[in-house]
């Protein structure tokens, strides 16, 4: 693993539920699991349309990282005894449709979708990091490390989208704004339901 990287194996510490702020941890893990699930479905949709194109390997590489993120949040849900959002079936369809739909508009639109989603997710992760730092950075050290690593990888995906002409997509700002409003709604709902 690269320096500072988080192992994607089961939590190294014996996860103890004693002394944690269970409502906050439940919300964080539930929404992050839902977000990574949705991101997986977005990349699956993009690959269904653009997988054999020149941008296919780039999308596949980002998707592989998202698969690792989802795997880790699946483990954290078990370790912290968190139930998933009941909206997963909806995110399954909505994510795929968003990914495939943006890809059908072309490579630049698919990359605009990536920029919008990954910017929303990395901003969301930053808010969670601040929350956990206020709660107790030592108590949540391992979770903070995971979220920071994933946030950094989401920023990399964002930057890859920009490098591949996301801003040249037709109606870029409209597309980006619409997707980010959808992300905010998805975050709000997945934290609670």
Mean pLDDT of 128-156: 96
Please state at what angle helix 88-104 crosses helix 172-192, rounded to 10 degrees. 170
Cα–Cα distance for residue pair 139/41, rounded to 1 Å: 32
Write down all domains in the chain, each with its CATH number in brackets: 22-191 (1.20.1260)
- So what's the pLDDT on residue 80? 95
What per-residue confidence (pLDDT) applies to 17?
Answer: 72
Summarised one tens digit per residue, pLDDT across range 146-174 is 999 999 999 999 999 999 999 999 999 99
Tell me the average pLDDT of the chain. Answer: 92
User: pLDDT per residue over 59-118, tens digit each?
Assistant: 999 999 999 999 999 999 999 999 999 999 999 999 999 999 999 999 999 999 999 999
The predicted structure's pLDDT at residue 15: 54
Residues 164 and 58: beta-carbon distance below 8 Å: yes
Q: Average pLDDT for residues 10-24, to the nearest whole number?
A: 69
pLDDT at 18 (0 to 100) = 77
- The CA-based angle 61-94-57, given to 5 degrees, is 15
Check pLDDT > 60 for residue 8. no
Q: Is the pLDDT of residue 12 over 80?
A: no
């Amino acid at each position: 693993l690269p320096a500072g990287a988080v192992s994607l194996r089961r939590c190294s510490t014996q996860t103890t539920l004693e002394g944690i702020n269970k409502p906050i941890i439940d919300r964080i893990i539930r929404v992050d699991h839902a977000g990574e699930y949705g991101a997986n479905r977005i990349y699956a949709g993009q690959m269904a349309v653009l997988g054999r194109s020149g941008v296919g390997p780039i999308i596949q590489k980002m998707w592989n990282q998202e698969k690792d993120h989802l795997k880790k949040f699946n483990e954290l849900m078990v370790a912290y005894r968190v139930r998933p959002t009941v909206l997963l079936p909806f995110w399954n369809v909505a994510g795929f449709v968003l990914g495939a739909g943006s890809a059908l508009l072309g490579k630049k639109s698919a990359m605009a979708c990536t920029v919008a989603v990954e910017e929303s997710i990395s901003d969301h992760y930053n808010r969670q990091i601040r929350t956990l730092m206020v709660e107790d950075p030592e108590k949540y050290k391992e979770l903070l490390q995971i979220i920071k690593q994933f946030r950094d990888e989401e920023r990399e995906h964002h930057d890859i989208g920009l490098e591949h002409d996301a801003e040249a997509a037709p109606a870029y700002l409209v597309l980006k704004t619409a997707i980010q409003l959808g992300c905010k709604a998805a975050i709000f709902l997945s934290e609670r339901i």
